[in-house]
Amino acid sequence: MIPFDFAYFRPDSAAEAVSLYQELARSGMEPVYYGGGSELLTMARVGNRRFGAVIDIKAIPDCTAIGEEGERFYFGSAVSLGAIERSGLFPLLGRTGARIADHTMQQRITLGGNLAGTIRYRECVLPLLLADAGMTVFTNDGAQSVSIHQIFSGRLDLPTGALLTGCSVSREFARARHGHVKKTKNEKIDYPIATVCALETDGYLRFAVSGVHENPFRDMALEEILNDTRTVPRLRADKIVEELRPGAVSDVYGSSEYRLFAFKRAIMEIFAMEREGAMV
Ligand SMILES: Cc1cc2nc3c(=O)[nH]c(=O)nc-3n(C[C@H](O)[C@H](O)[C@H](O)COP(=O)(O)OP(=O)(O)OC[C@H]3O[C@@H](n4cnc5c(N)ncnc54)[C@H](O)[C@@H]3O)c2cc1C
């Protein structure tokens, strides 16, 4: 049971949602945008989060759309991880979402909720960072398109009250050869000890990581090391591990050493996939 009352709104445009947010905030209602609601409701039930109003974004066409837009593929922020996988539009994003929580939750968790939520892994950002995704953010000034690299640095940095309506990636990146390796502690369905997503463009491997540091990231300097074919793959992996050692997380799920060990295994699997032509 949620131990407090809150008002529920379901606007049918992004403009209405954003102006409603401002109005509710001004009257002290502490509004929140509501995607799948799984994080908001779980945190509210255990007393970790309070809000006076929820603004459900699932009737906003810009947030629920998914499909082709010329040479790009668009994913609305209220689209579920399950729907993204079924669409087959961006297989790396589909595969990443298909390893978050269980199949039932994947029909509920939204792309925007995964990116904007407080649970630190935010694995769906990995393919978007690799594909240099464009993000559409709606504020009082209307819709703005920005690069993911401008608004994501470990976490999504949106102005207060801004609504992420969706994101898009080019067909070229969406269809590029890729690999996904998620290492968990016990079960297939679990938070990541280390997740690595990789995407190949013109023979160059991009990669991004979740689970090892506090927040997910892509680091171009580490990509240079990964692609330095003057050194054998194992030594490249060792070098990247040393770079990642400062800041590696130790918590109840796994020590920093364990996370780095799992990360190295994941990177070696990516190398093996590349060598054996198993990146699809
Ligand atoms: C059982 C379980 C297992 C999980 N395992 C993993 C995992 O392995 N890896 C991983 O990365 N994550 C994992 N998660 C985290 C999950 O992806 C997040 O909790 C996510 O926030 C849930 O999405 P939602 O749509 O239900 O979010 P909601 O509860 O609707 O929202 C979460 C937050 O995001 C904000 N928000 C939502 N949409 C928008 C938007 N469009 N614009 C601006 N703000 C917005 C909300 O205001 C709220 O603050 C797991 C969660 C659960 C419940």
pLDDT at 188 over 90: no
pLDDT at 186 over 90: no
As separate numbers, helices (DSSP H) first and strands (DSSP E) second, the chain gives 13, 14
Contact 18, 140 (CB under 8 A): yes
Cβ-proximal residues to 228 (8 Å cutoff; 6+ apart), any chain = 236
Ligand 1 near 62 CB (within 6 A): no
The Cα angle at residue 71 between residues 140 and 68, in degrees rounded to 5:
70
Q: Which atom of ligand 1 is nearest to the CA of 49?
A: 49
Q: What is the mean pLDDT of the chain?
A: 96
Contact 243, 264 (CB under 8 A): no
**Residue 113 C-alpha to ligand 1 middle, in angstroms?**
4
Cβ-proximal residues to 219 (8 Å cutoff; 6+ apart), any chain = none
What gap in Å lies between CA 51 and CA 32, rounded to an integer? 7
Report strand pairing: 66-69 vs 53-56. unpaired
Q: Which atom of ligand 1 is nearest to the CA of 34?
A: 30
pLDDT tens by residue, 9-55 = 999 999 999 999 999 999 999 999 999 999 999 999 999 999 999 99
Ligand 1 near 137 CB (within 6 A): no
Ligand 1 near 122 CB (within 6 A): yes
Q: Which atom of ligand 1 is nearest to the CA of 43?
A: 29
pLDDT at 89 over 90: yes
pLDDT tens by residue, 227-268 = 999 999 999 999 999 999 999 999 999 999 999 999 999 999
pLDDT tier, 126 (very low <50, low <70, confident <90, very high otherwise)? very high
> Six-digit token pair at 36?
């799948």
